[in-house]
Amino acid sequence: MSTVTESVDVETDVTTAYNQWTQFESFPRFMEGVDEIRQLDDTHTHWKISVGGQTREFDATITEQHPDERVAWKSDSGPTHAGVVTFHRLDDRHTRVTAQLDIDPDGFVENAADKLGILDRRVKGDLGRFKTFIEERGGQETGAWRGNVDRPGN
């Protein structure tokens, strides 16, 4: 299992950055290789991605979500992975967004991508495109979901 951690500082307040991140269906606009995400209910999503010229689909569960703080998830099927994105207020107009992913590469292409650092660069690029996406919108999110999801066992 590999861990990837990347951060980006965005020029928007923490609430706007968090609100935009909860709009999973907008991810294909800034995440490389993400073709489609459907939010099935408050805690379940269905993903369609392209990896090495192959299309893969999987479901994921949001395991923890707290407004303006964090969104965590784990895959239910397909490539084994889990992650958390946290939001840190730097000041009234700046937020640090940090993504930490634990990925268990599946197959030759994903293992090679992991060993060559491609996954790290992809996450860094996705966060950079998120920064551009939210800043070009003038700090206006496309929507928001402000519900809480408590970690299992809490």
- Residue 50 pLDDT: 86
Looking at the predicted structure, is the pLDDT value of residue 108 above 80? no
Residue 142 has pLDDT above 50, yes or no: yes
- Write the CATH number of the domain with boundaries 2-136: 3.30.530.20
3-state secondary structure the chain: CEEEEEEEEECCCHHHHHHHHCCHHHHHHCCCCEEEEEEEECCEEEEEEEECCEEEEEEEEEEEEECCCEEEEEECCCCEEEEEEEEEEEECCEEEEEEEEEEECCHHHHHHHHHCCHHHHHHHHHHHHHHHHHHHCCCCCCCCCCCCECCCCC
Tell me, what's the pLDDT at 106? 65
pLDDT of residue 120: 79
Domain layout of the chain by residue ranges: 2-136
- Residue 5 pairs in a beta bridge with 100
- For residue 2, pLDDT over 90 is answered with no
